[in-house]
Structure 1
Amino acid sequence: MNEVFAIADEVAVFRDGAYIGLQRADSMDGDSLISMMVGRELTQLFPERDKPVGKLLMSVRDLALDGVFEGVSFDLH
């Protein structure tokens, strides 16, 4: 998102092929842009968990594929 705000004067948002709106880039932040893009508040994207995380099944650290990606780490529960 930083790149959008660095080069754009205005941001037009389309969702599912429908025009959502046009905003001046300097009048919004990343959260408001994402909210326009997905159609709900950012807090709803990652809701609080009501169940504890299960046991660790696999852990990957610093996974890389030359020229494609590097530094990917995650835990699978």
Structure 2
Amino acid sequence: MDRLSIGQMAELNHISKQTLRYYDRIKLLEPYIVDEETGYRYYSIKQSARLDMIQYMKSLGMKLEDITL
């Protein structure tokens, strides 16, 4: 499992695909790979740790624009 689809990443981390797309748009968590032909986003399992940190910081009341990792 070297890459996860956006759906797999969302399900694994209990987050919506829309949230992952938003994080990509604001450059907070960009996909590991984007297929140039299809535009599909793929994530590395290692990015789950970064996503956990983002969710933790949000739970502490931090605004997304204040989170830089």
What TM-score, normalized by structure 2, do the two folds share? 0.22
Query: Looking at both structures, which has the greater relative contact order when contacts are Cα pairs under 8 Å and sequence separation is at least 6?
Result: 2
What TM-score, normalized by structure 1, do the two folds share? 0.21
Higher helix proportion: 2
Higher strand proportion: 1
